[in-house]
Structure 1
């Protein structure tokens, strides 16, 4: 039986909704203000295949076709500021999400 997967676009949208819900509890007020001020013009939601670093944070096997890595941040001239790096499952029958938040002025 094959997994029921939602599209990468749908899962990236879901990751952004999770970011919006959890950001007030995980980012500083200054980070939230910065994000809200610049997101419309310079913000990004970037999806990709999960990188190997997730194995340091989660104990499950990350199958690239079942998971998406989503970065949410602001693109500045001198580099990107990533506010959240999210690992999220595309499998509708096995929901999973893990967020790595920006910490103390670093990514």
Structure 2
């Protein structure tokens, strides 16, 4: 059993992942994607956090311990019928919840 006192909460790690996203997005997303995100994030933006699942094992070279990592997704979600836009995921982020061991891996939108 993992001692949770050395782990960031999902809410805390979500905020950290979002900061990393904002910092690295200009180098990893197309200019039109950044413009779209900035234009629509107030009304349609979302950050979804969850425990990391084993699907990350194909992207990193170690076994993911679900309680030690979080998956954070950053995107735009359009709920209204008739909106021309489809939901967009800009980044899927694997981030360590361990306060003493920082780690982050991002899969960016093509």
Question: Could you say whether these structures have the same fold, taking a TM-score greater than 0.5 normalized by the shorter chain as the test?
Answer: yes
Counterparts of 2:53 and 2:63, CA distance in 1: 12
Number of equivalenced pairs: 103
Long gaps (5+) in structure 2 = 80-84
Q: Which moved more, 1:47-56 or 1:81-90?
A: 47-56
Q: Is the 8 A contact 2:53 2:66 kept in 1?
A: no
Quote the residue 1:60 is aligned against: 62
Runs of 4+ in 1 over 4 A off after TM superposition: none
Deviation per CA, 1:28-79: give whole Å up to 9, x if none: 0000000000000000000012233211110112111110000000002364
TM-score of the two chains, using structure 2 as the length reference: 0.87
Select the structure of larger CA radius of gyration: 2
The answer for the alignment partner of 2:101 in structure 1 is: 94
RMSD after superposition: 1.5
CA distance in 2, matches of 1:100, 1:91: 20
- From 26, 29, 32, give the equivalent of 1:27: 29
Question: Structure 1: which 5+ residue stretches go unaligned?
Answer: none
* TM-score relative to the length of structure 1: 0.90
- Paired residue for 2:87? 80
Alpha-carbon distance in 2 for matches of 1:40, 1:65: 31
Partner of 2:82: none
